[in-house]
Chain A
Amino acid sequence: MEKTPHRKAANSIRPPATSIGVIGWMRANLFNGWLNSILTLVVGYLLLLTIPSFVKWAFINSNWFTTSEQCKAGSGACWSVITANIRFILFGFYPHQLQWRPLLAVLILILLLFFSQNRKYWKKSLAYVWLLGLFSMGLLLKGGLGLEVVDSDSWGGLPLTLLLSVFGLTAAYPFGVILALGRQSDMPVIKSFSVVYIELIRGVPLISMLFMSSVVFPLFLPEGVTFNKILRAQIAIILFTAAYIAEVVRGGLQGMNRGQYEAAESLGLNYFQAMRLIILPQALKIVIPPSMGILISAFKDTSLVVIIALYDLLKTTQTTLTDPKWMGFSAEAYLFVALIYFVCCYAMSNYSRRLEKELDTSL
């Protein structure tokens, strides 16, 4: 290598075929080193073993719109269990001819969520639109104002799942903020009440709260006063979620610069003014992404109401499966419900990741 090659010649020499293109990519990402090569082969073999048979089961040999007898005769997946019972799975015992109402309510919610994800619309008016939307959803489900009244005992399916999680988070948020402020407070009584509440709730499983809502809440009320199961479960979910929100908000409050508190005080603002005008607007902005995380887990956790026999999405699916006609097709039905949950949670977690990047003002 005494002679340095001409510039022109150097430019025209292509890299070896084994380090570019498909082969190069495979060498760099799949077969770099003997351990990785073995891993690739093992994983590839396992995939080859499972994927074709799954595709065959789920798509090629599957039944989509048949009766249960035809399903039992076939060898593939029986998606008919869903197509035949879709209205019951999605809406539960809601009166059949009125099911457009929960459908519309769910569509309104999806539309609202879709608009709210654009930060251009984050103004005060959006809050009013949300209030209006939530009110109209409630109206659609419950009836009244000219619509036929539907008793809340027959609410079920997807609207119930969404209702419990969205209303739960909305109502728990203010409560959680108050608890977080209480925990940060200098007043020993308020601080200790908040700490005890937060740690107590975070230490127990949601199911114990739900048990409490179904068997202990009725004992708390004076004689003759009862309120329905859904509301009781909703209260339990709110009480539970608030403790988690409080911890997230506390993170935001602690993340604030000390100077902000001091600046607010030196302006002569009292505690409430300082919180409302200076501290909370900034602290709550920091905690938007982790709050999404709480929304996701609240959404997943609402499925636990199955245990106290509320007809949410999971319970309606289970009920379908107890029908002798459709017994034995649990895999298909549960996969369908899992898909609904996955799509919702994935969209939310993706959005929260994007938001985290957009809102990150640090350098």
Chain B
Amino acid sequence: MDTTAPEKIPFLRDPAKLAILYQCLTILGVGLLSYYLIHNTLANLERQSISTGFGFFKKEAAFEIGEKLISYSAADSYSRALLVGFLNTLVVAFIGVVLTILFGTILGIARLSTNWLLAKLSAIYIEVFQDIPILLQLFFWYAFFYEMLPAPRLALNPIPGLFLCNRGLIFGLPQAHSAYFYAFVALGLACLMIFFLRKWAAKRQAATGQIFPIVKVSLALFIGFPLITWWLAGAPTAMNVPKLTGFNFQGGLSISPEFTALLLGLVLYTSAFVAEVVRAGIQSVGKGQKEAAMSIGLKPAHVLNLVILPQALRVIVPPLTSQMLNLTKNSSLAVAIGYPDFVSVAGTTINQTGQAIEGVALIMFVYLAFSLSTSALMNWYNKKIAIVER
């Protein structure tokens, strides 16, 4: 045998050639399957004379939506109806995420508390609420509002100005006044100022070593600036308190039972998972880290701020984001209790137009956009806080 020329590898033994073969087969298989499905679908659509494409966007929707952030009536187009649903999903997801992080963090810390009663109660809460399907919890809270709460006339009034009845949650709001607008603008300005102040303080500390009391000043700015603006603008204190007139409340802000039930269910369910994430994050920071930080003379606030939190957050943030996405995806269960979120509006659209493929594709696209943008943000954040390895 000639030893200088490499031995010819038989076709079926050559990994490189096999790889090409397998990939060609996969493309062929997927292509054939999609051709078959598309062919069937087109034939079916033609037979049932269902139109295709997104032409229905401009048609009149002809159905009412109970809760809306922007003006909408049955005479508006489908695209506007879908926009209303989309905004409803956004609202419930946003408020839900904020409340869940708040409540979940408290719960996770309580789980690790040295107080036996508190720790055990949180552990029971976490276990119970994780193990009951979210849909069942939503049904329960929905029934809670419609069956267990009294009519407006006998509404529960746990704290002054807040009423709970089978028409939902109704509470007093400050009377509309331009001062609140100015205070809100001031809050935005304060945030901007804090941002630049922090940058300046960090630069100064790096250059001169002098520490600026950034936390105290930030807090003072954050609270004080809007408060002073409000005071300067006339310090209005009038409240718009709900009053019972006839069979329902007038005035104040009333939140529908559907929305409250959805929010309550989502927050209580997801908080249990967030609590576990927070607990794992706190426990992941070794005891030695805290002891080392204390032994080099850092103040307790600095120990938390400079040593514990940065390390814990690195563990907490990725699973926390996935829980937030879960909450957003679970908000689609609103359709089961009649809150007009995006899925619910899209479902009605599918029923009316018969254009199921477009409807389901829209639903998938919207949630996919949520997920992909969140994970892009997440990857950026992860890169930013990753341990720099040399």
Interface residues of A (CB under 8 A from B): 29-30, 32, 36, 39-40, 43-44, 186-190, 193, 199-200, 202-208, 211-212, 215-216, 218-223, 271, 296, 300-301, 303-304, 306-307, 314, 318, 328, 330-331, 334, 337-338, 341-342, 345-346, 349
Q: Mark B20-46, 1 if CB is under 8 A from A, else 0.
A: 001100110010000001001101110
Q: How many Å from the CB of B3 to the closest CB on chain A?
A: 21
- Please list 5 pairs of residues, one from A and one from B, whose beta carbons are closer than 8 Å in the complex, sorted by A's number: A36-B115, A205-B343, A211-B360, A212-B360, A330-B148
A334/B139 in contact, CB under 8 A: yes
Check if B133 sits within 8 Å of A341, measured CB to CB.
yes
Of the candidates B128, B360, B367, B368, the one having the most CB atoms from chain A within 10 angstroms of its own CB is B360
Chain B residues with CB below 8 A from A346, complex form: 127, 131
Q: B43–A223 contact, CB under 8 A? A: yes
> Within 8 Å of chain A (Cβ to Cβ): is B317?
no
Whether the pair A211, B132 counts as a contact (CB closer than 8 A) is no
**Does B368 contact A200, Cβ atoms closer than 8 Å?**
yes
A207 touches B114 (CB 8 A): no
Give B62-96 interface residues, CB cut-off 8 Å to A. none
Report the Cα distance A304→B118, complex, angstroms: 33
Which A residues are CB-close (under 8 A) to B44? Answer: 218-219, 221, 223
Known contacts A221-B40, A223-B43: does B115 contact A40 (CB below 8 Å)? yes
Residues from chain B with Cβ under 8 Å of A188 in the complex: 23
What is the distance, in angstroms, from B22's C-beta to the closest C-beta of chain A? 6
Q: 4 smallest A-B Cβ distances: which pairs? A: A330-B143, A203-B371, A345-B131, A29-B116
Knowing A187-B19, A328-B147, A334-B140, say if A220 contacts B40 (CB, 8 Å).
Answer: yes
Q: With A29-B116, A188-B23 given, is the CB distance from A314 to B360 under 8 Å?
A: no
B359: chain A residues at CB < 8 Å are 211, 215
Report B-chain residues with C-beta under 8 Å of the C-beta of A212.
360
Report yes or no: A220 in contact with B330, Cβ–Cβ below 8 A. no
Q: How far is the CB of A182 from chain B (nearest CB, A)?
A: 9
Q: Which of B27, B135, B371 has the most CB of A within 10 A?
A: B135
Contact B115 A204 (CB under 8 A): no
Q: Bound state CA distance, A206 and B330, in angstroms?
A: 9
Chain A residues lying within 8 Å of B347, measured Cβ to Cβ, are 211
B223 proximal to A (CB < 8 A): no
Q: Is the CB of A338 within 8 A of B118?
A: no
Give Cα A187–Cα B15 distance, bound, in whole angstroms: 11
Chain A residues near B330 (CB-CB < 8 A) = 205
Q: Which of B116, B118, B131, B363 has the most CB of A within 10 A?
A: B131
Return chain A residues, CB-CB under 8 Å to B41: 219-220
- Chain A residues with CB under 8 Å of B148's CB are 330-331
- B243 on the A face (CB < 8 A): no
**B43 / chain A contacts, CB cutoff of 8 Å:** 222-223
Q: Which residues of B contact A193 (CB under 8 A)?
A: 26, 30
CB distance from A335 to the nearest CB of B (A): 8
Assess whether A318 is in contact with B139, with CB atoms less than 8 Å apart. Answer: yes
CB–CB A219/B40 < 8 A: yes
Interface membership of B151, Cβ < 8 A: no
Collect the chain A residues with CB atoms within 8 Å of residue B144's CB. 331
Count of chain A to chain B residue pairs whose CB atoms are closer than 8 Å in the complex? 160
Q: A208-B363, A220-B37 are in contact. Are A189 and B343 (CB under 8 A)?
A: no
Q: A202-B371, A208-B367, A334-B140 are in contact. Are A306 and B114 (CB under 8 A)?
A: no
Q: What's the Cα separation between A180 and B330 when bound, in Å?
A: 25
Residues of A within 8 A of B220 (CB): none
Contact of B356 among A215, A331, A334, A337 (CB under 8 A): A215
B350 within 8 A of A: yes
Residues of B within 8 A of A40 (CB): 115, 117-118
A296 to B262, CA, bound (A): 22
Q: Nearest residue in A to B142 (C-beta to C-beta)?
A: A330
Per-residue CB proximity of B331-370 to A under 8 Å, as 1/0?
A: 0110110000001000100100000110110011001101
Classify chain B's interface size: 35 or more
Report the Cα distance A337→B357, complex, angstroms: 34
CB atoms of B140 and A30 under 8 A apart: no
Q: Which residues of B contact A328 (CB under 8 A)?
A: 147
Bound Cα distance A188, B27 (Å): 11
Measured between alpha carbons, how far is A311 from B255 in the docked complex, in Å? 32
Q: Which of A206, A208, A271 contacts B360 (CB 8 A)?
A: A208
Q: How far is the CA of A334 from the CA of B333 in the complex (A)?
A: 17
Complex-state Cα separation, A301 to B41, whole angstroms: 29
Inter-chain contact A36/B114, CB cutoff 8 Å: yes
Contact of B143 among A189, A334, A345 (CB under 8 A): A334
Per the bound structure, the CA–CA distance linking A168 and B130 in Å amounts to: 21
Could you say which residues of chain A place their CB within 8 Å of the CB of B113?
36, 39
Q: Given A303-B133, A314-B133, are A29 and B22 also a contact pair (CB < 8 Å)?
A: no
Which residues of chain A come closer than 8 Å to B134, judged between CB atoms? 300
Chain A proximity of B130: nearest CB distance (Å): 8
Determine the distance from Cα of A36 to Cα of B119 in the docked complex, in whole angstroms. Answer: 11
Are A186 and B115 interface neighbours, CB within 8 A?
A: no
Chain B residues 315 to 338 lying within 8 A of chain A, measured CB to CB, are 329-330, 332-333, 335-336
Q: List chain A residues, Cβ under 8 A from B329.
A: 204-206
Among the interface residues A193, A199, A219, A296, which one has the most CB atoms of the partner chain B within 10 A? A219
Contact A307 B336 (CB under 8 A): yes
Residues of B contacting A341 in the complex (Cβ-Cβ under 8 angstroms): 131-133, 136
Task: Return chain B residues, CB-CB under 8 Å to A216.
Answer: 356-357, 360
A204 to B114, CA, bound (A): 40
Q: Out of A32, A189, A208, which one reaches B364, CB within 8 Å? A: A208
- Our pick among A32, A203, A318 for the contact of B114 (Cβ within 8 Å) is A32
Complex contact A304–B333 (CB within 8 A): yes
A342 and B131 in contact, given A190-B26, A219-B45, A331-B144 (Cβ under 8 angstroms): yes
Complex contacts, B45 vs chain A, CB 8 Å: 219
- Kindly state the separation between the CA atoms of A331 and B131 in the bound complex, as whole angstroms: 18
Contact with A along B178-195 (1 / 0, CB 8 A): 000000000000000000
Q: In the assembled complex, how far is the CB of residue B154 from the closest CB belonging to chain A, in whole angstroms?
A: 16
A314-B135 in contact (CB<8A): yes
Which chain A residue lies CB-closest to B351? A215
Residues of B within 8 A of A30 (CB): 115-117
Binary contact track B101-125/A, C-beta < 8 Å → 1, others 0:
0000000000001111110010000
**Chain A hits for B140, CB < 8 A:** 330-331, 334, 338
Partner among B117, B133, B332, B356 whose Cβ is within 8 Å of the Cβ of A43: B117
Contacting residue for B332 out of A202, A208, A306, A349, CB 8 A: A208
Inter-subunit contact A43/B143 (CB<8 Å): no
